[in-house]
Structure 1
């Protein structure tokens, strides 16, 4: 494995869908996404790895040493947000490909007659992690983990009315291949926060994910002429929706600083004409906290306030729970493994939570999962200014390689038994 070749590959992939301000725009199942998928396929097939594509567009590059044995998965996603950063997701996939190549060489170097690892290895590129074009996010890994229904997700539409199924067919990546049997998962990602940078550390060992609650909100007013309708006769859905947006922002003030984060990042307006009072606005509110109780309190407060807005403007507002994700704790054995690997490599490390959702959050529901962070300059993400240094990326690659070697050799077998026992108890 060459650090120079890894960096060359990373910076090459960043040219696909590149934007003028050094970001990328590679939304799920677009032509730009197809180009990165083609690159992934070429990288794998050039090394003799078999590539599978499943029914929701997830891609797997398989390295098999022990026929019939399950696979340790490593990877992330290659799709991006609109005008997003070039590091988010793509770093984790490209690092995984290079880590897999190094692990393959280690296995080969063991020589004939030596025991091969008990688990095979696969690199994954998950479909539609970002959710910018098709909601909800973390779609491919959630379908894989059985948390979302594949048929339902294939019928999700973008704003132009194109379904996931149609978009995948159009770019040639709606597959039918069997999904690999999985024994564990590891992912490395940029932090998307400032903690590692502020503390001068190289690596974060993720110990848990924040609770996430989204609200699907529909504001229904009445369409009318912007010039001819008296102000007192209007039922303006956009004015009411604007107040809802402010309520979502201000609800965080009811709690300690940074105990709750909230936003409205998606809004559509009908009929969206300059001379028509809006009849309908659809928006999605996002609430996140380390405390489910805080999220529940914020949700209840918002529902009460939104009812007041509906009465004030004499219109209807529907609010439905959407994409609720409980806190996920990552296996202690995996966290300790990351800490040990960091110590062996001379890297500074700390335990860290993830406020953002990742494919690892879905995978952690079904197999022992390791999640690692590397620093983000200024904590900037989902933005063209997103940046992580080459040195930090290479350090993370070294850590991922060592963690992967340990995983294929059974480092988290005890955690795997624990998940199996919990699954049996739930079935019982």
Structure 2
């Protein structure tokens, strides 16, 4: 089989792990379904003769050493999914990374080239955050922005900790983390821009500012039939009003500049004949500038305080999972544009509203983030889809990006993270 045929065969095979009846996947972090994909990753690397490492937060590394002692350029993404999620989000980047690395190694051998940096492929743990919050956990622990010991204690809704879950599937590792010189990730866009403009590749230049609010609504448990309406302190009714305020806060800003949502809510005691005593929810705020997120936060906290007063209950609000805007190196963007042009692929610069492992990695090493088109812009659901042709375009570009980076195309001393002012000047220019 050709490189492209091998990639497509592997991609659609991995999509069988946790497959749903509507062509999606349910492969949440550290579940038996996740184990199947991890075992496949390890077997692929073993068959190539590559070193396999698993660190203490469950990140998996397939390492190709061609220059002893040199740091690694990593390619990769994540294999875990959302509940009833899509088969492309994350998995495409890992499988493309494996095949790109295989192609690069063959090319190095054929040309007799010893690269400046070694090459590796990574499957980050719990990027999605569906089972264990926060998201982007494995890569954030790797770069030091999240505390490993604290993340290992995080529990899912069943009270199972990250450490227990990883141990149960055999991936609570102890291996040393590799020294890294650079990182490249390819992903579906999760938006409509590339599809609408019929462009093959997006070169991600910056991420949106993101922050979540951890909200605990504390009412009083009582009988749904015997308690007079005037005597109730219903946590769920109050929480419902909070959800609507989170949804409506975007109306205070220019259209399209900010998004908000509540994606998780749990209530206690969750009985059909008991007024809820406690509701826990997480609000997600994202915007292309930090000021809008902070202003939306201010508005919501004020509104939530009024809801608490109206219902004579207590509502606790805490900041959670705050991520500053990340600007990707100009040198990396120019590299993507050069590689795409050489391959005859169309390319444009594009922002990411979603978080990715590359956002974490961009804090510590020169990082490249690539997008391919998403049909209808749909993501985090079973209808998520990108064509085989678009995946192969991306694979070609990723392989050449990895080749260039392994030869030293992006050296840390030669790149810098642009400031907000520098980025604004570039846009105006």
TM-score range, shorter chain: over 0.9
Name 2:107's counterpart in structure 1. 106
* 1:418 Cα offset (Å): 4.5
Measure, in 2, the Cα distance between the counterparts of 1:417 and 1:338: 14
Name 2:261's counterpart in structure 1. 263
Residue 350 (structure 2) pairs with residue 352 (structure 1):
yes
Partner SS for 1:20: coil
Contact 2:329/2:415 (8 A) holds in 1: no
Contact 1:210/1:290 (8 A) holds in 2: yes
Residue 324 (structure 2) pairs with residue 317 (structure 1):
no
Measure, in 2, the Cα distance between the counterparts of 1:42 and 1:235: 55
Name 2:95's counterpart in structure 1. 94
1:413 to 404, 411, 414: 411
User: What pairs with 1:30-179 in structure 2 (closer than 5 Å)?
Assistant: 30-111=31-112, 115-179=113-177
1:276 to 265, 274, 277: 274
Measure, in 2, the Cα distance between the counterparts of 1:291 and 1:363: 21
* 1:81 Cα offset (Å): 0.2
Specify whether residues 193 and 368 from structure 1 end up closer, same or farther in structure 2 by C-alpha distance, changes over 3 A only.
same
Name 2:341's counterpart in structure 1. 343
* 1:413 Cα offset (Å): 1.0
Name 2:324's counterpart in structure 1. 326
Measure, in 1, the Cα distance between the counterparts of 2:389 and 2:150: 42
Partner SS for 1:131: coil
User: What pairs with 1:302-313 in structure 2 (closer than 5 Å)?
Assistant: 302-313=300-311
Partner SS for 2:315: strand
Partner SS for 1:132: coil
1:48-102 superposed Cα distances (whole Å, 9 cap, x missing partner): 0010000000000000000100000110000000000000000000000000000
User: What pairs with 1:245-260 in structure 2 (closer than 5 Å)?
Assistant: 245-260=243-258
Name 2:186's counterpart in structure 1. 188
Name 1:16's counterpart in structure 2. 17
* 1:234 Cα offset (Å): 0.1
Partner SS for 2:397: helix
Partner SS for 1:169: helix
* 1:271 Cα offset (Å): 0.3
Q: Which 4+ stretches in 1 moved above 6 angstroms?
A: none
Measure, in 2, the Cα distance between the counterparts of 1:87 and 1:415: 34
1:118-166 superposed Cα distances (whole Å, 9 cap, x missing partner): 1000100000000000000000000000000100000000000000000
| Structure 2 unaligned spans of 5+ | 418-429
1:320-344 superposed Cα distances (whole Å, 9 cap, x missing partner): 0000000000000000000111111
Contact 2:366/2:415 (8 A) holds in 1: no
1:363-419 superposed Cα distances (whole Å, 9 cap, x missing partner): 000000000000000000000000000000000000000000000000111556647
Name 1:426's counterpart in structure 2. none
Contact 2:77/2:90 (8 A) holds in 1: yes
Report the TM-score when normalising by structure 1: 0.96
Partner SS for 2:165: helix
Measure, in 2, the Cα distance between the counterparts of 1:124 and 1:50: 12
Measure, in 1, the Cα distance between the counterparts of 2:303 and 2:111: 65
Specify whether residues 378 and 157 from structure 1 end up closer, same or farther in structure 2 by C-alpha distance, changes over 3 A only.
same
* 1:304 Cα offset (Å): 0.6
| Structure 1 unaligned spans of 5+ | 420-428
Measure, in 2, the Cα distance between the counterparts of 1:380 and 1:328: 24
Report the TM-score when normalising by structure 2: 0.96
* 1:213 Cα offset (Å): 1.1
1:288-315 superposed Cα distances (whole Å, 9 cap, x missing partner): 0001111111110001100110011000
2:286 to 285, 288, 292: 288
Contact 1:269/1:280 (8 A) holds in 2: yes
Measure, in 2, the Cα distance between the counterparts of 1:267 and 1:261: 18
Contact 1:367/1:416 (8 A) holds in 2: no
Contact 1:220/1:315 (8 A) holds in 2: yes
Q: How many residues align?
A: 416
